[in-house]
């Protein structure tokens, strides 16, 4: 993982729209520049033998399709692409249109992953010698999903868990979804937990204000399973009405 990510600025003229990080030759992380949109979301592109899968398409004037096309061409990977979303909020789906216009692209939802009994049942997809498990994790948003890559041991948690403000819209579902991920990871290796944003600063308990584009000293993207346990403990400690809690690496914010 990079020691620091680009955010947006200080000089936007020198900032590319996307920072593309090769985690390994089959797993790429794309970060949208804060100069394009303050949400600065992270996108994930995973390659199997038969197809590639992209999680999320960016915010605002997203040129994710161009960035992904270029990357796949550079890597000489002419595979069909499956596009899916961590959840349906606009800062994760803004680039959809350009993907819909691309050849060899299909969109996947819970049903595509074989999830019939939402949210208890897990699903998955085989990208070709590479299985991605899919968990239903409503709470931040009703159709939120998490993705577990068995090859790397990376769990993608979208906006449910990341170093920043975790907006909880349905507290009961959010708690059940957190418990679901804790149970799922109890018997599996977790290399990193990667979410879709960084809003936390490198200083414990301190986050950048909403709308910040340039974050010269932000928290690392990667979290570990301990953070998932910490989140569960904090949620369980709140009996009754959920209140805002600032923890070292993230903040729980009821909406």
Report the interface residues with Zn ion, using CB under 5 A: 89, 159
Taking the least distance from each CB to Zn ion, the nearer of 15 and 86 is: 86
Taking the least distance from each CB to Zn ion, the nearer of 131 and 171 is: 171
Give the residue at shortest CB distance from Zn ion: 89
d(C-alpha 239, C-alpha 223), whole Å: 26
Find the shortest distance in angstroms from Cβ 160 to Zn ion: 9
First-residue to last-residue Cα distance in the chain: 32
Find the shortest distance in angstroms from Cβ 129 to Zn ion: 32
Among the listed residues 165, 147, 166, the one whose alpha carbon sits nearest the alpha carbon of residue 157:
147
Taking the least distance from each CB to Zn ion, the nearer of 96 and 159 is: 159
Name residues whose C-beta falls within 8 Å of residue 132's C-beta, 6 or more positions apart in sequence. Answer: 46, 53, 124, 125, 126, 147, 148, 149, 150
d(C-alpha 165, C-alpha 49), whole Å: 36
88's tokens: 């349906």
Find the shortest distance in angstroms from Cβ 94 to Zn ion: 12
Taking the least distance from each CB to Zn ion, the nearer of 51 and 85 is: 85
Query: What b/e readout covers 45-71, taking b as 16+ CB neighbours within 10 angstroms?
Result: bbbbeebbbbbbbbbeebbbbebbbeb
Find the shortest distance in angstroms from Cβ 121 to Zn ion: 23
Taking the least distance from each CB to Zn ion, the nearer of 211 and 240 is: 211
Find the shortest distance in angstroms from Cβ 163 to Zn ion: 15
């Amino acid at each position: 993982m990079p020691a620091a990510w680009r955010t947006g600025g200080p000089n936007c003229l020198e900032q590319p729209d996307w920072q593309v990080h090769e985690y390994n030759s089959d797993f790429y992380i794309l970060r949208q520049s804060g100069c394009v949109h303050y949400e600065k979301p992270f996108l994930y592109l995973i390659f199997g033998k038969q197809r590639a899968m992209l999680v999320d398409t960016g915010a605002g004037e997203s040129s994710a399709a161009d960035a992904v096309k270029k990357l796949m061409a550079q890597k000489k990977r002419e595979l069909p692409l499956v596009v899916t979303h961590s959840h349906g909020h606009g800062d994760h789906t803004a680039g959809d249109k350009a993907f819909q216009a691309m050849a060899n692209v299909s969109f996947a939802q819970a049903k595509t992953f074989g999830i019939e009994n939402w949210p208890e049942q897990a699903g998955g997809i085989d990208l070709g010698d590479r299985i991605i498990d899919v968990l239903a994790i409503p709470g931040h948003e009703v159709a939120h999903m998490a993705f577990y890559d068995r090859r790397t041991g990376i769990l993608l948690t979208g906006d449910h868990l990341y170093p920043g403000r975790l907006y909880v819209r349905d507290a009961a579902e959010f708690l059940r979804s957190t418990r679901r991920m804790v149970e799922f990871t109890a018997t599996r290796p977790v290399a990193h937990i990667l979410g879709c944003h960084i809003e936390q600063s490198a200083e414990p308990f301190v986050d950048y204000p909403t709308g910040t584009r340039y974050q010269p000293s932000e928290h690392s993207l990667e979290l570990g399973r301990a953070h998932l346990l910490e989140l569960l403990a904090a949620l369980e400690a709140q009996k009754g009405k959920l209140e805002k809690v600032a923890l070292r690496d993230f903040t729980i914010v009821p909406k």
